[in-house]
C-alpha cells in the first residue's frame, strides 16, 4: 500500500481521590485495516499492569477489555500503533435517491438512519437539510452538508464537552470535531442518507517530515453510504487521506469512546490525554 507510515502513541486514563479496589474498563484505541489503511502493529498497555482480552464489538471496532482488582490511585492506558495510510478513496456514486428511499436500504442501514441522544431531530435543521439536497445527487448532498456545517459552527476548543449534542452545538454555533460530526450526521439522516460516526486520529500538518514527531489529535469524521461507505472530514472540509487514521465506528460518540469503565471508590478525574504522531515514511 503506497502512502505514509505513521506511529501513534496515545496515552489516557484516570486519577482517583482515594485508592480504588477494583475497576472494569474498555478501550477503543486499536486502529482497523481496510482498503485505505493497513495496521502493521498495535498494542495496548496499562499501568498498573493487568491481563487484557480483545474482542470485536457490534460495530466492528476492536475493544481491549481489562479489569483491576488491586488498590490503585491512577490508571494509565497507552496505545501504540504503526499504520500505513493511502490516498483518499473516491466517493461512491452507486446509489441514487430512489434506492436510498427503498425498503432494502432503509432496513439494512436502519441504525445509521435513526436519531439518537447526540443526533436529535429539529424542524429548522430538517428544513435546512431539505434545502441543501434540492437538485443534488446523494454524494453532492453529503459534501453540501459537510460544508454547511463548517460554515455554521465556529471551531472553539473547550466550548463543548463529550456529552454535548448536535442540537446544543447548533444553538451555541460553536464546537469541536465531535460536534461538527454530530450536526452533519443529523443533516444526512434527515436527507435519508445512512451515515455513521468515525473516530481516530489526525496528523495535523500536511508538511510533516519523515521521522518528525508532532502532537496529534484525537479526531472524528463521517462516513456516508451512497452505494458503499466513504468518508469526509467536515471539521476541516477535507477528504479522508494520508493524515487520517481510523479506529472506531458507530451511530454517534456513545458507540466509540476511547476509554470507559466503572470502578468502586470515590470520584475520578480524567488525566491529560496525549497523542504523539510520528511520520515514519
- pLDDT, one tens digit per residue, over 183-206 is 999 999 999 999 999 999 999 988
Distant-in-sequence, close-in-space partners of 155: CB < 8 Å, separation ≥ 6: 174, 175, 176, 177, 180, 235
Domains within the chain, CATH numbers bracketed: 4-86+257-279 (2.60.40.2250), 97-255 (3.10.620.30)
DSSP 4-54: EEEEEEEEEEEEEEEEESEEEEEE-------SSEEEEEEEEEEES---EEE
Write out the H or E segment, with its range, that includes residue 188. Answer: helix 177-191
Given this model, what pLDDT does residue 2 score?
A: 59
Question: Mean pLDDT for the chain?
Answer: 95
Q: For residues 168-195, give the mean pLDDT.
A: 98
Q: How many other CB atoms are found less than 10 A from the CB of residue 64?
A: 22
Q: How far apart are CA 201 and CA 20, in angstroms?
A: 31
- Residues 241-249, mean pLDDT to the nearest whole number: 96
Average pLDDT on 217-228 reads 96
pLDDT at position 269: 78
Q: Find the helix or strand (DSSP H, E) in which 195 lies.
A: strand 195-202
- Asked whether residue 1 carries a pLDDT value surpassing 60, the answer given is no
Confidence category of residue 270, pLDDT binned at 50, 70, 90? confident
- Residue 172 phi, psi (nearest 5): -90, -15
Range 159-184 average pLDDT: 97
pTM value is 0.96
pLDDT number for residue 264? 85
The mean per-residue pLDDT over the stretch 37-66 comes to 97
pLDDT band at 108 (very low <50, low <70, confident <90, very high): very high
Say how far apart CA 147 and CA 132 lie, in whole Å.
Answer: 10
Q: How confident is the model at residue 238 (pLDDT cuts 50, 70, 90)?
A: very high
pLDDT (tens digit, 9 = 90+) per residue, 61-96?
A: 999 999 999 999 999 999 999 999 999 999 999 999
The model's pLDDT over 205-221, given as tens digits with 9 standing for 90+, comes to 888 999 999 998 899 99
Amino acid at each position: 500500500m503506497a502512502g505514509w507510515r505513521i506511529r501513534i502513541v496515545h496515552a489516557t486514563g484516570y486519577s482517583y481521590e482515594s485508592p480504588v479496589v477494583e475497576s472494569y474498563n474498555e478501550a477503543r484505541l486499536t486502529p482497523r485495516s481496510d482498503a485505505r489503511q493497513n495496521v502493521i502493529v498495535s498494542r495496548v498497555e496499562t499501568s498498573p499492569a493487568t491481563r487484557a482480552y480483545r474482542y470485536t464489538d457490534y460495530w466492528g471496532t476492536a475493544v481491549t477489555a481489562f479489569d483491576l482488582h488491586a488498590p490503585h490511585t491512577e490508571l494509565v492506558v497507552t496505545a501504540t500503533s504503526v499504520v500505513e495510510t493511502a490516498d483518499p478513496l473516491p466517493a461512491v456514486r452507486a446509489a441514487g435517491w430512489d434506492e436510498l428511499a427503498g425498503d432494502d436500504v432503509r432496513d439494512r442501514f436502519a441504525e445509521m438512519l435513526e436519531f439518537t441522544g447526540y443526533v436529535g431531530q429539529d424542524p429548522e435543521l430538517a428544513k435546512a437539510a431539505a434545502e441543501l439536497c434540492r437538485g443534488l445527487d446523494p454524494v453532492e448532498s453529503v459534501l453540501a452538508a459537510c460544508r454547511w456545517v463548517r460554515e455554521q459552527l465556529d471551531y472553539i476548543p473547550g466550548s463543548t464537552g463529550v456529552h454535548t449534542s448536535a442540537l446544543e452545538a447548533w444553538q451555541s454555533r460553536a464546537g469541536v470535531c465531535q460536534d461538527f460530526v454530530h450536526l452533519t450526521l443529523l443533516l444526512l439522516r434527515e436527507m435519508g442518507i445512512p451515515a455513521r460516526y468515525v473516530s481516530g486520529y489526525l496528523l495535523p500538518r500536511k508538511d510533516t517530515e519523515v521521522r518528525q514527531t508532532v502532537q496529534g489529535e484525537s479526531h472524528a469524521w463521517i462516513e456516508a453510504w451512497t452505494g458503499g461507505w466513504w468518508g469526509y472530514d467536515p471539521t476541516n472540509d477535507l477528504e479522508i487521506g494520508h493524515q487520517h487514521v481510523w479506529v472506531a465506528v458507530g451511530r454517534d460518540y456513545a458507540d466509540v469512546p476511547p476509554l470507559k469503565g466503572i470502578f468502586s471508590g470515590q470520584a475520578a478525574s480524567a488525566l491529560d490525554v496525549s497523542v504523539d504522531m510520528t511520520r515514519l515514511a
